[in-house]
């Protein structure tokens, strides 16, 4: 029998921290896994020995792969794995038999996630008719991308930017390609209506581009029925269009006449409205179209150039003639506002230096103070309203400076007139000091004779 001893007495008899070392040497009392108690043993001693045994087993299982061992004193001794041990060779993937060239297994076709050897071609998968997921109706199906048709709100948001970009680049083929990618559906007939509505609020060159666009789209995207339906809708909505564009009836009449001339509207379109028009705006549009078609038949009016061509598309000689005509009309009327409107309608802001050049030449050729003051007032007004930029103004004056040698042949007093005009332009704030200093003067001074005491000869025109 074991002698019972209170646990508190045993704990007091051993200092803390020395329990393990005290009973480490008693491990030899274990035989075949059983503990042999000394005659003076106690339950507390058995518990301590079992604790030491569990700790030794735990350390031995943790360090078994590293060759750990126990010393004679019971301490754990860690052994270093030699490089030649089998444990160190586990990370080496080379063959232990000393064979092979180090190539991948199965020629690269083995392993997880491998598709096979390079260049291997797989046969088509055969259909398993016994597969419970097999559906005979889907065997010959063809899958295509479905584009939903546009509704009224989406149509306006999608097509409006396309037409506005066309007014900038003028490429009808690009518009046709973009519209072909859309599923217009029932909104196909509203494309001409939207384009004409936007053109009514734009410039004359944009209306010309719109007429060309309708002619191009009628061959690939639109049909003649779509164009005819659009113009019917435009005639019905003229009362609303007049609120934003007062000249909408006359413009729409020109669009109808141009469409008939381009053979995208039938000639019977206008005749079908005779006696059946109650709206005064629609009647004015149809009358305008009928008059233009009658004039083209009798007088040879070219309806294909009804709107005129855009500023950048017109020949340079035509632009120069229009600039000269603008200046002559201004000298007769003196209306600066009308001259500014005509210059804006030319739509050639990159060509305004020609306007400055022709205005200065007109001052030199007129030889009168009235023309000089009117042209000076016109240039001052245009510079204040930024119709003519500083760069265009500088280029126009520089062109005059370069041509003074030829101009002085036709106008002998051109140099003195130019100096006078340049000085007054500087005083009025039209040009800066640098541009004034670039003004050329006559190359040499002329004297009356050697006996005149060196007096300069006054130039008289």
Structural domains of the chain, with CATH: 152-305 (1.25.40.180), 316-438 (1.25.40.180)
How many CA within 13 A on the CB side of residue 4?
A: 1
Is 259 a residue whose pLDDT tops 70?
Answer: yes
Give the 3-state secondary structure of residue 319: helix
pLDDT band at 318 (very low <50, low <70, confident <90, very high): confident
Rg (the chain; Cα; Å)? 51
Longest dimension (CA), the chain: 163
Give the mean pLDDT of the chain: 77
Q: What is the structure's pLDDT at 402?
A: 93
Q: What is the structure's pLDDT at 378?
A: 93
Rounded CA-CA distance 152/188 in Å is 11
What is the pLDDT averaged over residues 273-299?
84
Is the Cβ–Cβ distance between 269 and 228 less than 8 Å?
Answer: yes
> Over the stretch 73-106, which tens digit does the pLDDT of each residue have?
555 455 444 555 555 555 555 556 666 666 666 6
Backbone phi and psi for residue 34, each to the nearest 5 degrees, phi listed first: -110, 145
Backbone phi and psi for residue 393, each to the nearest 5 degrees, phi listed first: -65, -45
Query: Could you tell me the end-to-end alpha-carbon distance of the chain, in angstroms, rounded to an integer?
Result: 153
Give the 3-state secondary structure of residue 447: strand
Q: Which helix (H) or strand (E) segment is 168 a member of?
A: helix 152-169
What is the pLDDT averaged over residues 425-442?
89
> Over the stretch 123-156, which tens digit does the pLDDT of each residue have?
777 778 888 888 777 767 777 777 778 888 888 8
Looking at per-residue pLDDT, the higher value among 216 and 129 belongs to 216
Q: What is the structure's pLDDT at 301?
A: 60
Q: What is the structure's pLDDT at 292?
A: 86
Is 49 a residue whose pLDDT tops 60?
Answer: yes
Q: What is the structure's pLDDT at 308?
A: 61
Is 157 a residue whose pLDDT tops 60?
Answer: yes
Is the Cβ–Cβ distance between 430 and 376 less than 8 Å?
Answer: yes
What is the pLDDT averaged over residues 283-295?
88
pLDDT band at 219 (very low <50, low <70, confident <90, very high): confident
Of the candidates 214, 219, 228, 215, the one whose C-alpha atom is nearest the C-alpha of residue 269 is 228
Q: Residue 359, exposed/middle/buried by CB under 10 A (0-12, 13-18, 19+)?
A: buried
Q: What is the structure's pLDDT at 398?
A: 93
Q: pTM of the full predicted structure?
A: 0.49
Is 63 a residue whose pLDDT tops 70?
Answer: no
């Amino acid at each position: 029998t074991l002698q019972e001893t209170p646990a508190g007495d045993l704990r007091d008899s051993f200092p803390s921290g020395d329990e393990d070392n005290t009973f480490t040497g008693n491990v030899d009392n274990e035989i075949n896994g059983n503990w042999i108690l000394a005659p003076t043993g106690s339950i507390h001693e058995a518990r301590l020995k079992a604790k030491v045994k569990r700790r030794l087993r735990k350390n031995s299982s943790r360090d078994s792969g590293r060759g750990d061992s126990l010393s004679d004193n019971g301490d754990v001794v860690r052994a270093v794995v030699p490089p030649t041990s089998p444990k160190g060779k586990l990370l080496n993937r080379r063959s232990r038999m000393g064979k092979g060239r180090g190539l991948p297994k199965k020629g690269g076709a083995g392993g997880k996630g491998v598709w096979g050897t390079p260049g291997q071609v797989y046969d088509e998968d055969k259909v398993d008719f016994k597969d419970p997921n097999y559906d005979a109706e889907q065997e010959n199906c063809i899958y295509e991308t479905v584009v939903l048709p546009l509704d009224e709100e989406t149509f306006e948001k999608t097509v409006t930017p396309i037409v506005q970009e066309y007014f900038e680049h003028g490429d009808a083929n690009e518009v046709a390609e973009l519209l072909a990618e859309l599923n217009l559906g029932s909104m196909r007939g509203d494309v001409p209506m939207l384009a004409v509505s936007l053109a009514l609020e734009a410039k004359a060159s944009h209306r010309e581009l719109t007429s060309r666009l309708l002619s191009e789209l009628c061959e690939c995207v639109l049909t003649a029925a779509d164009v005819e339906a659009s113009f019917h809708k435009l005639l019905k909505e003229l009362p609303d269009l007049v609120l934003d564009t007062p000249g909408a009836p006359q413009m729409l009449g020109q669009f109808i006449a141009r469409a008939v001339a381009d053979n995208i509207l039938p000639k019977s379109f206008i005749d079908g409205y005779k006696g059946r028009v109650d709206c005064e705006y629609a009647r004015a549009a149809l009358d305008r179209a009928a008059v233009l078609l009658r004039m083209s038949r009798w007088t040879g009016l070219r309806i294909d150039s009804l709107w005129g061509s855009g500023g950048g598309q017109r020949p340079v000689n035509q632009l120069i003639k229009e600039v000269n005509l603008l200046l002559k009309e201004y000298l007769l009327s003196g209306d600066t506002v009308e001259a500014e409107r005509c210059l804006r309608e030319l739509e050639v802001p990159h060509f305004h230096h020609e306007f400055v050049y022709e205005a200065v030449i007109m001052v030199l050729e007129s030889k009168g103070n009235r023309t000089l003051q009117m042209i000076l007032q016109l240039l001052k007004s245009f510079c204040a309203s930024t119709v003519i930029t500083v760069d265009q103004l500088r280029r126009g004056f520089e062109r005059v400076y370069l041509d003074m040698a030829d101009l002085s042949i036709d106008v002998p007093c051109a140099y003195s007139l130019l100096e006078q005009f340049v000085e007054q332009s500087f005083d009025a704030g039209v040009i800066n000091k640098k541009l004034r200093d670039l003004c050329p003067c006559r190359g040499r001074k002329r004297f009356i004779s050697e006996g005149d005491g060196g007096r300069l000869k006054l130039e008289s025109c």
